[in-house]
Copies of this chain bind each other. A is one copy, B any other.
Amino acid sequence: MSSALTDLKTRLADVNALHAAVTIMDWDQQTYMPRGGADARAQHLGILSRMAHETLVADDTRTALDKATPEAEDDEAMLRVVRRHIDLATKLPSSLVEEKTRLAAIAHERWVEARANSDFNGFAATLEKMFDIAKQEAEYLGYTEHVYDALLDQYEQGATAAEVRTMFESIKGPQVELVKAISEQPQLDDSKLYGHWNESDQSEFTQMLVKSIGFDFNRGRQDTAPHPFCTGWSVGDIRLTTRYKPYIGSAIFGSLHEAGHGMYEQGSPMTWDRTPLAGGVSLGVHESQSRTWENIVGRSKPFWSHFLPALQAKFPALSGFDLDTFYRAINKVEPSYIRVEADELTYNLHVLVRFEIECDVLTGKLAVKDLPEAWNAKYAQYLGITPRNDAEGCLQDVHWSMGSIGYFPTYSMGNLLSYQFWHALERDVPDTEELMAKGEFAPILGWLTDHIYSAGKRFTPKHLIKRVTGKPIGADDYLAGLDKKYREIYRL
């Protein structure tokens, strides 16, 4: 006779297979799917998501969970993770989940078209429905203080809108001051980083880069997508995407960013494959790793002391750069419109705009139709610039079309955590600069894998952060890191 735990694991394997189907269909939709496939894709995704949800919240699953007792080392952590999944999922009616998934598939097509035409009106009705679904979700999930808490907790267990506000308060002052000091210095010239770069050269170069830092192409690949992302359905199959733009940094830093996510996913123990323990523990911790490889590693001087010759060999138009000029150019600070292409210093201000707007729409202070106006006003206020159109304004990101509302603050948490984890890493791996200059990333990846990646979801995010860094999430390491870096770059 099989144990309740075995029954539970069988059911979870079914849920995992259905999620894998949804995830690969989503990957395909963003990379290769012809337009004509959109309607059927929406229907298929809706049905398969509904089935996954139904299986997860089925009485038999709940019974197996309630009766299951740990039999092996990781079972207790697995049961904790599963209990949370099932508790969250049980609160949401299957019909709402199916409706959201179906809407998301349609919304993606609408968003692509609206952004291409910079036509917010073509997307507004769909976005309004998506916010309406988010509000319903929050009510079903429940919260004590703020409607936002219910949504945020799904992505970052235990985090609250109040904590997010505190975080922004603690970084706003020092960052605005630093940006102001920089604005009084002569601006850096990065115009040579813009041009027409051959796409297959960009593909080859970025694949060489992410392979060099440790992304395993036997267990993953890189494709292109309008909005870069990382996804996967097995520790052995993690997919990155990148995009090719006139700014050569789009592909380079986009690829390094997604590879950071990807290496985190590849770092789960293979024995946890297809189980709830595999993969990143929260979006904030996940983002800390993408930002680590993109910014702390990928925008460092030692990194480019190693890779600049290869870059210049591939793209002779960049051969005029010396290391110092190149390093300063890729770290140019300038308020800009597009979050994913923002410099490290102004990045969090983009997130702040999104956070405030989401709160205002969710609490009814702002109507969706007035969103572009509010968006542009906040950009003027925080960044001193006004988007020229909605494509570079509130239509820039894919996430709202996916129904990912209430998770943008995890980007800023990731920024803080990247420096906080790196600070801990440097205590054990003191010669990081030397290693990067030699192109040796294995000791760095090894430390991150040992301390973060291989832990999967075994600990809660707050527990993991404390365990690895000795303290809860905070702004100190982040602010100190940026201060040191940018004072040198801008000769302050």
Contacts and interface: CB of A to CB of B under 8 A. Distances in A.
A24 interface: yes
Given A21-B21, A24-B24, A51-B14, A40 B221 contact: no
A258 to B, nearest CB: 15
B21 A236 contact: no
A33 B28 CA distance: 12
A207 to B, nearest CB: 12
Contacts of A162: none
Query: Contact size class for A?
Result: 35 or more
A216 interface: yes
A233 B48 contact: no
A429 to B, nearest CB: 27
Interface in A84-122: none
Nearest to A55: B51
Contacts of A235: 40
* Interface-central residue, A36, A41, A218, A236, by most chain B CB under 10 Å: A36
A18 B48 contact: yes
A216 B36 contact: yes
A461 interface: no
A35 interface: yes
A476 interface: no
Interface in A148-202: none
A460 interface: no
Nearest to A219: B36
A40 B274 contact: yes
Contacts of A217: 34
Contacts of A13: 43, 47
* Interface-central residue, A38, A41, A47, by most chain B CB under 10 Å: A47
A61 to B, nearest CB: 15
Nearest to A218: B36
Interface in A18-58: 18, 20-21, 24-25, 28, 32-41, 43-44, 47-48, 51
Contact of A40 (B21, B33, B236): B236
Nearest to A22: B21
Contacts of A51: 14, 17-18, 51
A56 to B, nearest CB: 14
A37 B34 CA distance: 24
Given A32-B221, A35-B219, A43-B274, 10 more contacts: A13-B43, A18-B48, A21-B25, A24-B24, A32-B223, A35-B218, A37-B233, A37-B234, A41-B234, A41-B237
**Interface pairs A-B: 8 shortest CB-CB:** A37-B237, A40-B234, A36-B219, A36-B236, A21-B21, A17-B47, A17-B44, A20-B44
